[in-house]
Amino acid sequence: MKISKLLLTAGLLAAIALPASAQAVRINGAGATFPYPIYSKWFSEYNKLHPDVQINYQSIGSGGGIRQLSNQTVFFGATDGPMTKDQMLAAAGKVLHLPTVLGAVVPVYNIPGVDAELKFTGPVLADIFMGKVTKWNDPAIAGLNPGVKLPGSEITVVHRSDGSGTTYIFADYLGKVSADWKKTVGIATSLNWPTGVGAKGNEGVAGLVKQTPAAIGYVELIYALQNKIDFGSVQNAANEFVRASLDSVTKAAAATKGRMPPDFRVSITNAPGAGVYPISSFTWLLFYESPKDKRAARTMTDFMRWALQDGQKYCAALGYAPLPAEVVALEMEALKKIRT
């Protein structure tokens, strides 16, 4: 009698315990749209290596990602702009920011008859997007581009109509180089634009610039490359005119060497140093430092170790710049903070 009871209990226990260990780990995340292509590549590659790990990601926008993380409806969030102090306080616990890849925003234009690559400075870009410089042959632009025959047509400014991390990065840069921009327009994912027309998504801006003569806009680097639109070089903090490339963007991140804050909430627009492309930014994954679901926490820290090392090789093909080695080293340390 006793033995059969014992067996029964053991059997029951096994029945409860077994499926749990054999079950696949499903982890949900949500957030930024900009890194979505690389994240989905990572999650599917990681799933091939670890068939029992399934990570779902909804690209609902940085704001939505932060909101869902705060409400604890997802295990991790993703954002293109670091969380504000208020958002950090509103979250259900201490949140870690972990940079994953780098992106760049480029000024794209369509000027009939101009094939040369135009040069811009931050303040001139700010004036164009504020509607203060209204013609392509304005001395402010012509002075930077001697030898280029610029038409006298009116500039049509195209910006994002939807809230976007791209806008945040662009405005963050303009705010650093133009006091006027900072005061009158400001830095956020959606802005009160003084001029221009709004188009939805990077592809919307790229499309409208491409079909509108004398238009200027801003898009993520990959969209400019894919759509074959002209984009200009931008003057960096070391007074060089640099064209965005994976290399010049990684250099912007390397410029944080020795000055990286421990929480990784750092803006690398207008970063100092030679060869740096100034409108570059990290994009982050967001985790709670001590998540409730320990199993998911272990899985995600394993995943992060993989993404920061092996995963970086998928960046270039998708138009993202890989993280510099020093940032990866710092993050491997920071991953230990997540209590698993």
Partner 1 sequence: MIQGPGFKNSVRRSRSDRRGPDALFRRATGAVATLVILLAAAIAFELLRLSRLSIEKFGLKFWTGKIWDPVSGEFGASPFLWGTLYSSILALLVAGPIAIGIAVFLSELAPGGWRRPLSFLTELLAAIPSIVYGLWGVFVLVPLIRKLETGMPESLRKLPIFSGPPVGVGMLAAAAILAIMVIPFSSAVAREVLRAVPASQREAAYALGATRFEAIRAVLFHGRTGVIGALLLGFGRALGETMAVTMVIGNNPKASLSLFAPQHTMAAVLANEFTEAADDLYLAALVEIGLVLFVVTLVVNALSRLLIWSLERGSRRIPPVAAPEAVSGAEAA
By the criterion CB under 8 A, which residues form the site for partner 1?
60-64, 66-67, 84, 86-87, 154, 156, 161-165, 185-193, 196-200, 204, 207-208, 211-212
Give one DSSP letter per residue of 88-124, joined into a string.
HHHSSS-EEEEEEEEEEEEEEEE-TT--SPPEE-HHH
CA distance 227 to 117: 16
CB of 325 to partner 1, least distance (A): 32
CA–CA separation, 87 vs 311, rounded Å? 29
Between 187 and 335, CB nearer to partner 1 = 187
Nearest CB to partner 1, comparing residues 67 and 251: 67
Q: What are phi and psi for residue 212, nearest 5 degrees?
A: -105, 115
Distance CA 292, CA 109 (A): 48
How crowded is the C-beta side of 193, counted as CA atoms within 13 Å? 22
Residue (of 301, 334, 289, 303) closest to 91 by Cα position: 289
d(C-alpha 166, C-alpha 58), whole Å: 18
Nearer to partner 1, 29 or 61 (CB): 61
Nearer to partner 1, 144 or 188 (CB): 188
CA 38, CA 46: separation in Å to the nearest integer? 12
Q: Is residue 83 within 8 Å of 95, Cβ to Cβ?
A: yes
Which is nearest to 244 in space by CA: 38, 105, 101? 105
Comparison of 44 and 84: residue with beta carbon closer to partner 1: 84
Closer residue to partner 1 in complex, CB, 192/239: 192
User: Is residue 97 within 8 Å of residue 213, measured between CB atoms?
Assistant: no
Residue number, 165 or 291, with CB nearest to partner 1? 165
> Could you give the 3-state DSSP secondary structure of residue 162?
coil
